[in-house]
Structure 1
Amino acid sequence: MVLGLTLSFVVGLLVGGLAIHVGASLIVGSSSYSKALITAAVAWFAWAVVSLFVGWLPLLGPVVGLLVYVGVINVQYDAGWLKAGAVAFVAWVTSLLALALLRTLSLGVEVVGVPGV
């Protein structure tokens, strides 16, 4: 059970990192995959902390979580809030596509580091 959860987390983090990498490459113009993996891990942790404290509040919890997520991208890529939001959106779409592909291969994983997927 622990091995399965660990494997699912690692695969999810790799997919989340790839999605952020694609978004940052398209919007900001440059990105390394390792930086995207770090961004995904930090974003996952930040989202978890926000969810713990305000996630239960209707509307406010998800909005604060999304702002924190975009803020992590903004800090990591020094892109400004608008570009960071665009990176987040592209990462979200990329994650959905990656999940659809993984599900056709009968791999049920969750994406780590991209909220709402």
Structure 2
Amino acid sequence: MPPFAQPAPIGLEDRLLAFAVSLLVGGAALQAGTYVVAETRDYGHAVVTALLAALAWAVLESVPLIGGLLAIVAWIAVVKWRYGLGWLRSAGVGVAAWAAAVVVLAALELVGIGSVSALGVPGT
């Protein structure tokens, strides 16, 4: 590639694929988190929870000064609502989901898939 050449733009299909994989990884991490902390539901429930939690996070994170705090409280509230847990156990799901997401993302990076995240899991 010449020194000033720009890489090809990422197409819509690539973005949709990255979104889908990121959502599935986030759902898997939430499923693992609920397995550790509480009775689990099916994987589809975890994927929908990851999507709703990601939307709550995206809306509130941009609030000046307190956006991060509002976003994490909203994320925990979504988990609390979707799984019928208390605040403390919902926060525990978050910690376990984050740890699971880190492991999954590291494994994906090892096999050469490093352009995804864990959608719906804060800090990944």
Q: Same fold (TM over 0.5)?
A: yes
Partner Cα distance (1:84, 1:30) in 2: 12
Q: Please report the TM-score for the alignment, with normalisation by the length of structure 1.
A: 0.92
Amino acid corresponding to residue 87 of structure 1 in structure 2? V
Deviation at 1:51, TM superposition (A): 2.3
Counterpart check, 1:104 vs 2:110: yes
Partner Cα distance (2:44, 2:92) in 1: 20
More off after superposition, 107-116 vs 72-81: 107-116
Among the aligned pairs, what percent are the same residue? 34
2:99 maps to 93
1:66 maps to 72
Partner Cα distance (2:42, 2:36) in 1: 12
Count residues with an aligned counterpart: 113
Deviation at 1:25, TM superposition (A): 1.4
Deviation digits for residues 1-20 of structure 1 (CA, Å, limit 9, x no counterpart): 11111000000000000000
Residue among 82, 86, 89 paired with 1:83: 89
- Structure 1, unaligned stretches of length 5 or more? none
Partner Cα distance (1:110, 1:4) in 2: 14
Q: Please report the TM-score for the alignment, with normalisation by the length of structure 2.
A: 0.87
Partner Cα distance (1:88, 1:112) in 2: 13
Q: Highest Rg: 1 or 2?
A: 2
Partner Cα distance (2:68, 2:42) in 1: 28
- Structure 2, unaligned stretches of length 5 or more? 1-10
Partner Cα distance (1:12, 1:50) in 2: 20
Amino acid corresponding to residue 30 of structure 2 in structure 1? I
Deviation digits for residues 18-37 of structure 1 (CA, Å, limit 9, x no counterpart): 00001111211222101100
Partner Cα distance (1:42, 1:22) in 2: 17
Residue 47 of structure 1 aligns to a residue whose secondary structure is helix
